[in-house]
Amino acid sequence: MFTNNLLIVTILGGNKEVIFMSMQLILGGSGSGKSTWAFDYMISQAKQHPDRRYIIMVPEQFTMQTQRALVFAHPNKSIMNIDVLSFERLAYRVFDELGTQSGTVLTETGKSLLIRHVASERLDELTVLRRNINRKGYINEVKSLISELEQYHILPEDLLAMEETQYMPASFKAKAEDIRTIYDGYLSYMQGDYISKERILELFASVASDSLLIRDAVICFDGYTGFTPIQKQVLSCIYPMLDQMLCTVTIDPEENYMKQPGEEELFALSKKTIRFLDDLCDHQMLEPVILDGQNGRHEPGSRLFFLQQQLFRNEPGVYEGEDPKAIQIYHVSDPVREILFAAGEIKRLMKENQALHYRDFAVVCANMQDYQYHIKGVFERAEIPLFVDQRQEEIYHPLLEFVDASLELVTDKMSYESVIRLLRTGLLPVHEEEVDLLDNYLYASGVRGIRKFSHPFTRIPKNYNGEKLAQLNEIREKFMGPVTDFYNRQTKAKVTVRERSRLLYELLRGFHIEEQLIERMEEGEKEENQDKSRVNQELYPFLMDLLDQCVELTGDEIISLGDYRDMLAAGLENVSVAKIPQSNDSVMFGDLERTRLDHVQILFLLGANDGAIPRSNTSAGIFSQTEREILKEAEYELAPTDREKAFTQKFYLYMVLTKPSKKLIITYAGVNNEKEATSASYLVEAIEELYPDLHTVEIPDESEIFLQTMEGATLLLSSVLRQAASGEVLTEEKRKLLADLLRVKKADDEEEFYRMLDSAFYRYRHDPISKTVQKALAGDHLRMSVSRLERYAKCAFSYYLEYGLKLQERRRYVMEASDMGEMYHSILEHYSRYVNDSDSTWMDISEEKCETFLDASIQDALKEFGKAELLESPRDAYVLSHIKNTMRRTVWALTYQVRKGSFVPSRFEVALSQIDKKENLTRELSDGSRLELTGKIDRVDLSEDEKQVYVKIIDYKSSNQDIDGGRLYNGIQVQLLFYLNAAVRGIQDGEDRVVKPGAVFYYHVEDPLIEGDLHLPEAKIREAQLKELRANGLVVSDDRVYRDLDSELGIAFDNHESYTSDVIKVGSKKDGEPTVTSKVVSPDDLNVLCDFVEKKTKDLGKEILSGNIEVAPYRMGQFSACDYCAYKSVCGFDPRMDGFHFKDIASQNLDEVLPVIRKELGIFTEEADGEEGEDE
């Protein structure tokens, strides 16, 4: 198997050519010194043979690091005849040498564009992939699979054979057919003009034999865990040309490295690599160099040396040495505290050992996304320089947002959202405050579309005036010039990719985007923020390159704007910005597999939790894991399956955990970032088994370990403060800790110090506003509607915000629930006036006239409606149809109810000041202050004879309401009875007849759905509808009132018959009394309720003037004033916090509250007087 040399004689064109070459392996465990041995060997040979070429091959991301190591290792600090290359770099060297034309290399972005173009072109040929092809990110999934197929040398025709693989699911065939269609189109399009990154090495392999650069060279491969099929093809081509080939392989020296490996073995990758290299040299390798690690990274006999020798072995030993601090395991509550712990330990260790530098530390984890955003902030605030070893994937940048928003502006026809999105990028010549002004205006006015934006704004919503409109038009003119031109030209018919790209470029030029990004780049340089500088430097050229590729690949294709937008989106998904360390002395943060660590003394492994180690199964992509396993069994080589990745991760774990030369610190969290409980990985138990004296250390949240950084100290202070605030008795040690923390925090940030104290010991305390403030807000004379008074009773603070501070929600140009209510009121008012002004009455109006008046009323209401345009579009036809149907049902029901009795509608939408005297509506309060109440009564009905007039009040509601004793007593439901009082009082003035209250009702305006048999007779349906549409409220218990409301009910009472009215919620029993469920009230009780309402309105007025704005919303059962409150985000109300509470109100019937009301008014019944006397 092994030999000292290999002589191969080849016959080329009849002549014998003798080539001497050798294959040398350098084997050893991680940290055994393989790279050092190889580099020293290459330097030594290069010095002895300065005319020979020496090449060290490493993975692409390690080239710069390896060059640096070689320069430092070389005695002359130079490497004149040693090159450090990757496979790709070597390929391009050979292409330059031979003058090989590789064609235009397709970037990842270009590949996405091309695949999307092919998929669109062959869309009709696709089946299962067709429905997903426009889904965000799906083109990248297709691109990844095609790249994988290229990398593993699988051609479109090979997919046909894959389909016939035994046990393959039927669904695979359809997917494979679609991929073959796209793959074949992709290759056809590229042929001759383009080449993918994956096929660069194919081309290299085809021309390598002509290269003098490679011939007789000495090449050493270092840092490879294995080779891909195309890399193996390259090695097969270049190996016979070399003088010598060396390769470092990480493997335990005790392993039988020539044995066929099981995939579960730790060194399976290494064994596969060795077997390939052995086949490559026809099993004639030189005797390998085997390094036992005695002169390697770890001191022989140390804990870390033992870890390198025993971790993940089949029969691991048990460590019996000392040095307990070399490996430590900690359990911390959450990922943020893991990071704080690592930062604190770095600070502490550097204080203890002045020889340490930040570059001597590294932090790695299995799931970078769980830690990368927290660690940047924590380390920055701790003043620890950090380099995150990851290409920066740009999710949001103003330039990328500008591109998509400008196209969305056209596809969405200048909708409110698209216009504001473009303005919010900050790249248009509109200041942020101006964007806010325009945002509010567009939100309230409903201005949409290019026609309205191209001309001065004319629509004036509520609270706007001509001056504001002029200012808004000035803002509009700042950006609409370039936008209008862009919009009009993009919406033309048959526009090509070339033209659309040119228009986008002109829009970018028109707004000077490139110049703005250069300014931002320079700002980043001044701020010494390389990330900001680099992003703004690289993105514009990336975009220009993307547009160039669009034009080059599909320039003359006519494309819809939507497809063009999707094409750019597919390209922009590949945006990434390479990062460069800002300092040579910084902590490295990376993941287990990608990050290359060298000369690390202390390593932190964060997130050693189950689910991360081993990694949870991820999406396999278009081919499922099951399908991949079947293909693997059929000996098709593809990217590793999840099962293989799990074993590979164990190998990477072994490599990473053996990187530190001095100390390894492992942490895992109790919960993840979503606060879900997590457990330790198998890794923790595996390491603890190697070291009997090693046990996981629990780090409590209050541990002083977190004091090493100010952020950790702040977190600790917050925890101890919460304990103190909750009333927990602190130990003497904890009280001292709290005092120290408070002192340190106050010295560091006094403002945050007081904010933390306020937060920890916060208790809501109600402080009334001063009389001065109250007077400034409302004056001495309160003038308000009764409904506003009810609003105050529901929640004093929300009343203060709305009517005191005038805080308002942004008005939105949409049909809202309140708009529907206003529309219903307006239509009913117009309808009532039409009836009153005609020669008909409610009693005799015909159905034809009713329909005519209703249609006219709806048109009148629409003209008055400030958002009438909303109802003009086909999309909103349903809303208008619903309004019309509801109004027809309402007018039908109201007409029926009027005709059933003697009450006649007489006044509509009547203001209180028109029906009652001002002095009757004004309440004298304290200190000479007054409360004047206003409002409108929706409808006043009268029933008259020669001696008496009965009054009925109706209030139209768009929601179902009824009078509740608890609400009435607490001032939440006083409006209806106040209106009745005012109407009776006002009508009585100047009237010789006696005016009496008859009834008060809430009428729910709706078109009710009726449950029942589909074949229910029409009469039964009408009957059910009338029952649903009965008004809620109170009826005076008077036979005359019963008869005037429902003549049939009056007859039933007279005849002592059982009857339930279909117009009011009152029924009669055979004894001539109302049913138990009847909503009736005696005249005396109604008078008491009306008197109480008078008193309650006065009391609420006094309370308002007293400055009471307590945050104490009412709550009745599961409903509260907070349910639909617009100010929930402002008041901070939280019943869990000390001092906050609901004002709980019990739902009660009137019989329950009347005794309390009488007592409060000083009215006592004879029965109550008697009881009082007995008590005495």
Indicate if 236 and 269 belong to the same structural domain. yes
Task: State which H helix or E strand residue 1120 sits in.
Answer: strand 1119-1120
Do 504 and 435 reside in the same domain of the chain? yes
Q: CA gyration radius for the chain?
A: 42
CB 738 within 8 A of CB 721: yes
Token pair 């993307």 is found at 546
Domain-located, residue 875: no
Q: Are 145 and 203 in the same domain?
A: no
Domain that holds residue 735: 705-760
Longest dimension (CA), the chain: 139
Tell which of 534, 561, 577 closes a domain: 577
- Identify the sign of the CA torsion 357, 359, 363, 369: positive
Query: Which among 241, 247, 245, 246 is positioned nearest to 216, based on CA atoms?
Result: 241
DSSP code for 2: B
3-state secondary structure of 954: strand
Q: Which of 154, 132, 146 is nearest to 183 (CA)?
A: 146
User: How many CB atoms lie under 10 A from the CB of residue 87?
Assistant: 21
Helices (H), 900-1046: 912-915, 965-969, 975-988, 1018-1028, 1039-1045
Does residue 780 sit within a domain? no
> Are residues 431 and 549 located together in one domain of the fold?
yes
Same domain, 119 and 228: no
Residue 1102 domain-assigned (yes or no):
no
Residues 6+ apart with CB under 8 A from 1101: 782, 789, 923, 925, 929, 931
Alpha helix stretches (DSSP H) within 281-364: 303-310, 335-352
Are the beta carbons of 142 and 181 closer than 8 angstroms? Answer: no
Closest CA to 168 of 790, 581, 627: 627
pLDDT of residue 13: 32
Question: Among 651, 535, 656, which Cα is nearest to 595's?
Answer: 656
Q: Are residues 601 and 667 in the same domain?
A: yes
Q: Residue 927 falls within a domain, yes or no?
A: no
Task: Evaluate whether residue 832 is within a structural domain.
Answer: no
Cβ atoms within 10 Å of 997's Cβ, excluding its own: 25
Task: Render 1060-1112 in DSSP notation, one character per residue.
Answer: E-SSBS-EE-TTSSB-TT--EE-HHHHHHHHHHHHHHHHHHHHHHHTT-----
Distance (Å, whole) CA 61 – CA 391: 11
Q: Which helix (H) or strand (E) holds 1001?
A: strand 994-1004
User: Among 649, 670, 699, which residue terminates a domain?
Assistant: 699
How far, CA to CA in Å, does 946 sit from each of 259, 265, 523, 1135? 119, 108, 89, 58
Q: Could you tell me if residue 90 is inside a domain?
A: yes
Whether 684 and 539 map to the same domain: the answer is: no
- How far, in Å, are 430, 434, 508 from residue 478 at the CA level? 7, 11, 15
Give CA–CA dist 1162/1158, Å, rounded: 6
Same domain, 83 and 117: no
What is the domain count for the chain? 5
Transcribe 479-494 into DSSP letters: HHHHHHHHHHHHTSSS
> Does 426 share its domain with 360?
no
Question: Could you identify the residue written with the tokens 């001495």?
Answer: 780
Q: What is the CATH number of the domain that holds 669?
A: 3.40.50.300
* Residue 909 parent element (H or E): strand 904-911
In a domain, 825, yes or no: no
pLDDT at 1164: 67
The answer on 272 and 288 residing in a single domain is: yes
What's phi and psi for 609, nearest 5 deg? -110, 155
Distances, alpha carbon 247 to alpha carbons 194, 224, 255, 490, in Å:
33, 9, 17, 58
| Separation in Å, CA 2 to CA 226, 281, 1088 | 21, 10, 114
Q: Give the contacts of 783 (CB within 8 A, at least 6 positions apart).
A: 931, 932, 934
Tokens for 792? Answer: 């105050």
Distances (CA, A) of 1065 to 818, 887, 958, 1005: 27, 22, 19, 16
259 and 352 within one domain:
no
Residue 651 lies in a domain: yes
Which run of H or E residues covers position 1157?
A: helix 1150-1161
Which of 742, 760, 778 terminates a domain? The answer is 760
Residue 463, sorted as left (phi over 0), alpha (psi -120 to 50) or beta, turns out to be: left
What pTM value is reported for the model?
0.73
Cβ neighbours, 10 Å, residue 227: 19
Sign of CA dihedral 440, 445, 446, 448: negative
Domain identity same for 419 and 535? yes
pLDDT profile of the chain (1176 residues), mean per 10 = 38 34 90 93 92 93 86 84 93 92 78 84 87 80 88 88 88 90 88 81 92 94 91 94 94 88 88 93 91 90 92 90 88 93 93 92 89 87 86 71 94 93 94 94 89 90 88 94 94 92 95 94 84 84 89 86 85 70 81 83 94 72 86 86 83 92 95 89 93 92 83 85 83 86 87 86 85 80 92 94 87 71 90 91 92 91 69 65 90 94 93 92 85 94 93 92 93 95 92 93 90 79 91 94 94 92 93 92 94 94 91 92 89 87 92 92 63 41
